[in-house]
Amino acid sequence: MAPRSKNNHYKILIGLAEIEGAVSFHQREIDRALKPRLKALEYVAEASKLAEFIGGRVESLGLREDWTIAKSIFPGVEIFFVFNRANGETPPSLKVLYSGDRIKMMKGDDLARVALVCINQMLRFVKATNPGKHLPDICHKV
Amino acid sequence: MGLLKDKKLISLREIEGPASPHQRQVEMALKTKQEALEYVADVSGLAGFIGGRVESLGMGEDWALSKEIYPGVEAFFVFNRADTEFASSLKLLFGGENIKLVRGEELAGFAILYVSHMLRYVKETNRDKALPEVCYRV
């Protein structure tokens, strides 16, 4: 079972735009890559199992998110994946945020790339845990 | 400290096949970076910095480190310092029961990311020294 964190109240979470500046090229790169992957994450039935699969932990940010998973990349460098399922009004959304006292050491393109490959690993989890279901095409391309 | 000889370790070439494009990509990236690893004085400090652990191959390496990418997917770095005959060398291997799930391109990306972070450690721990230029580019 993946560990579950209970207290995130004092964590500072930032996006690539805060790391790279308002015109972050890599933020746009992530947004483009996330778009075709979002629908597949609707097939995640148990966030704790997904967290375990990627070597992360379930978090609760208190932002009414459906699930949040944090993954440590290096000590002092963490990625947070914040997911909201689609509802009648809004499509699904996945936000990628970063945290840790060494986050500023990292380059934006490294952070963007590692977030994307972690999401690819999430799609492998979706594929492995939904045998026989008709999944979005992207699941079969990772 | 783990003993690597009991683990099955493979290279990107074994994962992707003999014409692995990512093996060449990694070799090129490591070539420019490995010289900087001569400045690592404290291997356990380096392991702590990248969130990995010191390993022992028992094959005369100067040091070896492993780092988990995902559960069941690990990268191994095996370093030999330069001597009078050979230049310094950093070998990259992978292990774990889920290794075949992950694409070679992604494994290569993680490995290069980890080595870049090792160079940040070199920079942090050798502030008074003139280091190879690559340390200032990560």
Helices B43-50 and B104-125 sit at what angle, rounded to 10 degrees? 130
Interval A9-21: pLDDT, tens: 567 899 988 888 8
- Tell me if A13 sits within 8 A of A98, measured CB to CB: yes
Q: Are strands B53-56 and B2-3 parallel, antiparallel or unpaired?
A: parallel
- pTM of the predicted model as reported, rounded to 2 decimal places: 0.91
Question: Is the CB of residue B10 less than 8 Å away from at least one CB of chain A?
Answer: no
Is the Cα dihedral B24, B125, A12, A60 positive or negative?
positive
Does A74 sit within 8 Å of B103, measured CB to CB? no
Instruction: Determine the pLDDT at residue A70.
Output: 98
Name the residue with higher pLDDT: B49 or B20: B49
Interval A87-100: pLDDT, tens: 989 999 999 999 99
Per-residue pLDDT, averaged over A66-72, amounts to: 98
Does B109 sit within 8 Å of A74, measured CB to CB? no
Place of tokens 């746009």: A28
Per-residue pLDDT, averaged over B76-82, amounts to: 96
Q: What is the amino acid identity at position A33?
A: A
Per-residue pLDDT, averaged over B49-78, amounts to: 95
Token readout for B21 is: 């494009």
For residue A103, the 8-state DSSP code is: G
Residue A4 has pLDDT above 70, yes or no: no
Task: Please report the ipTM that was assigned to this predicted complex.
Answer: 0.91
Instruction: Determine the pLDDT at residue B19.
Output: 84
- Tell me if A72 sits within 8 A of A83, measured CB to CB: no
β-strand partners of A95: A82
Does A120 sit within 8 Å of B106, measured CB to CB? yes
Question: Is the CB of residue B68 less than 8 Å away from at least one CB of chain A?
Answer: yes
Note the Cα B109 to chain centre separation in Å: 12
